[in-house]
Amino acid sequence: MNPRNETEEEVLLRVRPEKEEIESICAVAEMLLNAVNESGTARGMVVGSVARNTWISGDRDIDVFMLYPPELPREALEEEGIILGRSIASRFGGQFVEKYAEHPYVNATISGFDVDLVPCYAVTDSARIQSAVDRTPFHTRYIQSHIGGLEDDVLLMKQFSKAGGVYGSDLMTEGFAGYLCELLVLRYGGFSALIEACQSWRAGQTIDIMGHQGKQFDDPLVVIDPVDPNRNVAASVSRAKMGEFIELCRGYSASPGLEYFYPPAKDVMTCNEFEQILSERGTGLYSISFATPHQIPDIVVPQLRRSSAGIASLLERNGFVVNRYSEAMGDETCCLLFELLVDTLPPLCVHTGPPVDNAVNAGKFRDKYLTQPVFSGPFINGDGRYSVEIPRKWVSASTLLASSDLFSARLGKHVMKSMKRNCDVRVGADCWDEDFKDFLGTFFHKISSAVALKKQ
């Protein structure tokens, strides 16, 4: 194994939890575990990075699973789980909320820790899991029994990915989950070897530690779950995020500086800077804001993506030219952003009709436009079809976006609902929004993390 370099030793000093932190977190975990076990109905298990000894100093997350017998009906599991979660939360904390993933769980603040109390089934074989959370105990056991000696490498990998903006498997980040970081460290036998190996990854790269892959995936990165031959742990990693990770590894290899673990703070965009950039780019900027739908992010995020793509395609269909578009999800408000190279058009457009061969339809088309105001035509084009130049429906992108035609775009269901209730379309400098200044900054300063680090 490569010896650690100075940077990595320095990083480890910062990210490795000290004895005191370990003791304090273990005490709380133990207390919660006992509370679950004392209930008599469920068995407690600490999962996640705390259980695996791979948490980064300062992390305050404790995941406690409440394992119920597999015979328990699903409804009963959900009900009992929530009741037990609530009672534990009230006993030790006070503040708690119910959340919902595949089924409901309790999220509480206990002794300063962010605690999830999650009911699941205690299945004995990972092939028999009844819901996705049932798989988590298997992940924890697998890592616990294999990671010995590589805990520091996992800490380095996690901190490296976080710093590079590629950590997190949520659909907005499309990056690397904690479990994926652990598996990659395991596969290559350490952080340095991982950094080295990733540099020659290609699209479709497949890693199958157990050699038991059960099906094909066409994701950019494929890491077969050691506890489930039919699951790609890296399914959430986008082509772009995979590429950024590869470039981060190349950059760090060439120049292993501390900035790859602790990047300089990004400049926050100001309204003045925003206006200056807009005027330099000379493009047309359009934002559409609306209330964030009350669904979990895993439902809302794909709908935001589909909606922005749908509106971009609506704009293009109407002759406008889209340079880029993006989307942001805030707690209260979502924002879709479109930058246009062309946002106004002349008042005419070509409308192509049926081929002359089709006497009936060609005749209808011709006669229709004989009596309507046209710019020219009908004429027969080089493909033998009737064609006519008629008034264009939308000569400016802003009137199109402000019209009900906006809803003819392919939009996500809940996004459409929220937009129909109320949506705020803004143009140019009016798109400035304090709440989305990071989003706007990233949009205009768009640059890969590895490139940004080199550019410092």
Contact residues: its own copies, CB under 8 A: 199-203, 220, 238-240, 242-244, 246-247, 250, 280-283, 319, 321, 323-324, 341-342, 345-348, 350, 355-357, 359, 362-363, 366, 370, 375-384, 386, 389, 444-448, 451, 454-455
Q: Which is nearer to its own copies, 54 or 283 (CB)?
A: 283
Contact 249, 199 (CB under 8 A): yes
Q: How far apart are CA 222 and CA 216, in angstroms?
A: 9
Q: Dihedrals φ, ψ of 293, to 5°?
A: -60, 150
The nearest distance, CB 357 to its own copies, in angstroms, is 5
**CB of residue 220 to its own copies, shortest distance in Å:** 7
User: What kind and span of H or E run contains 5?
Assistant: none
Tell the residue number behind the tokens 């979990």, with chain if given.
296
Return phi, psi of residue 149, to 5°.
95, -15
The dihedrals phi and psi of 155, each to the nearest 5 degrees, come to -60, -45
Q: Which of 143, 162, 164, 246 is nearest to 201 (CA)?
A: 246
For residue 406, is it left (φ>0), alpha (ψ between -120 and 50) or beta? alpha
Least distance from its own copies to the Cβ atom of residue 332, Å = 28
Both structure tokens of 207:
């890693």
Distance CA 190, CA 194 (A): 6
State how far the Cα of 323 lies from the Cα of 244, in Å rounded to an integer. 21
Whether residue 336 contacts residue 311, with contact meaning beta carbons closer than 8 Å, is answered with yes
Identify which of residues 17 and 353 has a Cβ nearer to its own copies in the complex: 353
- Minimum Å gap between C-beta 62 and its own copies is 35
H/E element, 124: none
How many CB atoms neighbour CB 13 within 10 A? 10
Cβ proximity of 245 and 260 under 8 Å: no
Smallest gap from Cβ 444 to its own copies, in A, equals: 6
Closer residue to its own copies in complex, CB, 154/314: 314
Pick between residue 88 and residue 431 the one whose CB is nearest to its own copies: 431
Q: CB of 396: closest distance to its own copies in angstroms?
A: 12
Total Cβ atoms within 10 A of residue 270: 13
Tokens read off for 66: 């409440």
**CB of residue 372 vs its own copies: minimum separation in angstroms?**
12
Residue of 429, 428, 446, 426 whose CA lies nearest to 438:
446
CB of 356 to its own copies, least distance (A): 4
137/220 with CB nearer its own copies: 220
The CB-of-241 to its own copies minimum distance in angstroms stands at 8
> What's the chain's Rg over C-alpha atoms?
27
**Beta carbon nearer to its own copies, 224 or 452:** 452
Q: Which is nearer to its own copies, 44 or 319 (CB)?
A: 319
- Which residue, 119 or 377, has its beta carbon nearer to its own copies? 377
